[in-house]
Amino acid sequence: MNNIAVGAQAQPQRVRIRLKRLTLFDVVVLFFATLAGLITIYPMWYVIIMSLSDPIYASGSKVTLWPIGFYLGSYSVVLREMQFWISMRNSVLYVLIGTVLMLVTTMMVAYPLTRPNLKGRKACVVFLLIPMYFSGGMIPSFIIITQLGLYNTPWATILPASYGIWNIILCKTFLQAIPHELAEAAYIDGASNYQALSRIYLPLAKPVLAVISIYTVVGVWNSWFGAKLYQTNANIQPVQLYLQKLLIEQSLNINKMIEQNMTEDMIRALNMRAISARQLKYSMIVVVTLPILLVYPMFQKHFVKGVMLGSLKG
Amino acid sequence: MVKRRELSRNARDNIDYYLLMAVPFVLIFIFSYLPLFGVVIAFQNYTPGKPFIGASTVWVGMKHFITFIKSYYFTRILRNTVVLNFMGLLMGFWVPVVFALVVNEIPKRRYKNFIQTVSYMPNFISTVVVAGMVLTFIANDGIITRLINAFGFNVKSLNATASVFPWVYTLTNIWKSFGWSSILYLSTITSIDPELYESADIDGASRLGKIAHITFPMMLPLVMIQLIFAVGNMLGSNTEMVLLLYNSAVYSTADVIGTYVYRDSLLGVKYSYGTASGLLLSVMSFVLVFGANAISRKTTNFSLW
């Protein structure tokens, strides 16, 4: 009782102080910052509330700020869709394999390039730099993938993205800051080059490898164009290509998908009406995007660090 | 004796190093260098399934380049690329700069962090999803169409109107990237020596005055560099975004080199012609980037290479 009374007394005073400190300038700044925030967040928010609203309202134009009604049926349709799960599984596998390969290839090149006694370092660096500025383009790459027999295999998207020259240079710059004495000490203790790499440099490179891996995870998860070019078999396509077919190309029959995945109970509950194609699209977007948006604030520091590291090199 | 041992140690080390680098280098060779050699098919009548250079290769010189330049696609693609980039520059370039200045002035630290976190979010949403959202918003029953019409207009089929496409494309790009692009500017602001602000305080400077006379001038070199590179990239294009947002009704304002090569030459199996047209644009773009870089080196002492 006493506590509450004290709290109630203290409250108005604090508010007054806060308000006093806000100048007109602050108000203008807060206004524009909030406006920018709203413009950014509202489209995403709109997708979420539309996916959650009652199908009657979701197909109309009433939903603006909050979900009207509450209905998870469109999510259950998405989650019942077999092809969706197949593409999700593929994407998860591509992300896992792609990230591991990226880290391994990055370390395998970055470490030797920092060794003082490496012969032909300059040639190696030139070999890495040329593809950064020149690429053969879409068609020659397509021909190579086809002639290697990778067309319509999972490797057609995994292998070309299994290395990143920018990442190698980033990692090399990072490793160069580690004093050579550390490796020398290990050699005196009888360590081989591989042991020095795995026991000393790998643990020390964790920060830069963390940056590289989260960039790779997001990059692979969001990629679709390679699959569009090289993977026509729906059973190996990643989820972003599935979304592209559903949202953009509209080559998937959404109404059939809804029809097949709605249970008797759902149809009865909705008075014999179906979920709209639009609501299903919104639910699909949420299911695919939410994991990344929820996880990203935790890694924000690393992402920002990545931008800094990259800009320092330039 | 010591010298010989050192030598063998050196040689052994180098074998280890080369073994480590071998696999990644093979991958780079296959997936980055072989396509680079593949560019030679721009000067041939390439038959799919054949090696890039072989006994049956038919060399045709610049034929495909000339065909492309003479076709009306060439000017259309050039015009679209420049228009899209120019609109992006005009409408989008200053947004992250101003946003960084505004964010930096937010009085509450936690709110500042929140706004930053929110503004970075669209960068992590895939291009497919962003384009998918935009397309449902500008559909006839979409929220953007309804919003515009609420102001007394009567617009419809925005996604199929050629004159609207550059706006859709530009605004989508700005929405997706302004927050993320502001990171560099914000980091420049945080690296400004606080003593500058302190002495300005002593002189009785207003906050607007401090922005105009300290913060912005300190950001200016970076702004100039970014501007020069944006101009240098005038012939570059975001193929994926265009490919996702466009449709056959808006080819006249949307088609860029990547979408043209994909649609006309890859799907249409005109490999040599497509490679030639892609190569021509790359070379033109490279010259522009190179020129911008040279100007940058002279004027701002900053260059990519």
Phi, psi of A151 (to 5 degrees): -55, 130
What's the mean pLDDT when you consider all of chain A? 84
Nearest to B143 among A46, A163, A293 (CB): A46
| Chain B residues 195-234 with a CB less than 8 Å from chain A | 206-208
A7-16, A261-270, B39-48, B134-143: segment of lowest average pLDDT: A7-16
Instruction: Please state the rounded mean pLDDT for residues A245-258.
Output: 82
Helix (H, G, I), strand (E, B) or coil at B44: strand
Instruction: Count CB atoms within 10 A of the CB of residue A71.
Output: 22
Q: A-chain residues within 8 Å CB-CB of B243?
A: 225
Per-residue confidence (pLDDT) for residue A314, from 0 to 100: 40
Tell me: the pLDDT tens digits for B26-61? 999 999 999 999 999 999 999 888 888 888 888 998
Architecture of domain B65-300: Orthogonal Bundle (1.10)
How close A96 comes to chain B (CA, Å)? 18
Q: Are residues A247 and B35, on separate chains, in Cβ contact within 8 Å?
A: no
pLDDT of residue A301: 78
Answer for the pair B99, B182: CB distance below 8 angstroms, yes or no. yes
Chain A residues with beta carbon closer than 8 angstroms to that of B208: 25
**% chain A with pLDDT above 90:** 43
What the block records as the tokens of A227 is 């699959």
Each domain of chain A, given as residue ranges in start order, spans: 2-52, 76-313
Which is more confidently placed, B299 or A129?
A129
In the prediction, which pLDDT does A19 show? 57
Structure tokens at B299: 């004027």
- The verdict on B19 touching A (C-beta cutoff 8 Å) is no
More confident residue, B252 or A81: B252
Which single residue is written with the structure tokens 């993977």?
A231
Mean pLDDT, to the nearest integer, of B259-263? 94
What is the interface pTM, i.e. ipTM, of the complex? 0.88
Q: Residue B174 has what pLDDT?
A: 95
Residues A21-34: pLDDT tens digits?
778 888 899 999 99
| Residues of B in Cβ contact (< 8 Å) with A237 | none
Give the residue with greater pLDDT, A9 vs B91. Answer: B91
pLDDT of A66 above 60: yes
What is the predicted pLDDT for the residue at B6? 57
Is pLDDT above 60 for B2?
no
pLDDT of residue A81: 84
- The arithmetic mean of pLDDT across residues B199-210, rounded, is 88
Task: Give mean pLDDT, residues A74-99.
Answer: 91
CA distance B46 to chain A (A): 11
Domain boundaries, chain B: 1-61, 65-300
Min Cα separation A267/chain B (Å): 24
Q: How confident is the model at residue B229 (pLDDT cuts 50, 70, 90)?
A: confident
| Owner of token pair 């892609």 | B278
Tell me the C-alpha distance between B174 and A174, whole Å: 32
Other beta carbons within 10 angstroms of residue A141's beta carbon come to: 21
pLDDT of residue B225: 83
Q: From B226, B194, B197, B191, select the one nearest B213 (Cα to Cα).
A: B197
Burial of A291 (0-12, 13-18, 19+ CB in 10 A): exposed
Radius of gyration of chain A from its Cα atoms, rounded to whole angstroms: 27
pLDDT at B37: 94
Residues B300 and B225 sit within 8 Å (Cβ to Cβ) = yes
**pLDDT higher than 50, residue B253:** yes
Mutate: best of B108, B126, B277, B289, partner A, most A CBs <10 A: B126
Q: Which of A201-205, B19-23, B208-212 has the highest mean pLDDT?
A: B19-23
- Residue B184 has its nearest CB partner, among A25, A247, A311, at A311
Task: Place A3 in a pLDDT band, splitting at 50, 70 and 90.
Answer: very low
The predicted pLDDT at position A177 comes to: 85
Supply the pLDDT for residue A190. 81
Please state which of the ranges A18-27, A212-221, B36-45, B202-211 shows the lowest mean pLDDT.
A18-27
**Residue among A32, A222, A300 whose CB faces B120 most closely:** A300
- Please answer yes or no on whether B35 and A307 come within 8 Å at the CB atom: no
The arithmetic mean of pLDDT across residues B151-163, rounded, is 87
As given in the structure block, the two tokens for residue B32 are 């980055």
**Residue-level pLDDT at A180:** 79
- Reduced to 3 states (helix: H, G, I; strand: E, B; else coil), residue B59 is strand
Residue B3: pLDDT band (50, 70, 90) is low
Q: What is the pTM of this model?
A: 0.88
How far does CA B174 lie from the centroid of its chain?
Answer: 12
Q: Which candidate from B102, B146, B282 shows the least CB-CB separation from A137?
A: B282
Average pLDDT, integer, range A264-288? 79
Q: Report the mean per-residue pLDDT for chain B.
A: 89
Whole-number Å distance between alpha carbons of B235 and B117: 32
Chain A interface includes B99 (CB < 8 A) = yes
Q: Record the tokens describing residue A14, joined without a space.
A: 């604090």
pLDDT tens digits along A160-197: 999 999 999 999 988 888 887 877 888 888 888 888 88
Q: Which two tokens stand for residue A95?
A: 């992300």
**Confidence class for position A313, pLDDT limits 50, 70, 90:** very low
Q: Nearest by CB to B102, which of A29, A142, A278?
A: A29
Query: What confidence category does residue A221 fall into, taking pLDDT thresholds of 50, 70 and 90?
Result: very high
Residue A15 has pLDDT above 70, yes or no: no
Q: Which pLDDT score is estimated for B169?
A: 95
Q: Best of B16, B21, B293 to disrupt the A interface by mutation (most A CBs within 10 Å)?
A: B21
User: For A47-58, what is each residue's pLDDT tens digit?
Assistant: 999 888 887 777
CATH architecture of A76-313: Orthogonal Bundle (1.10)
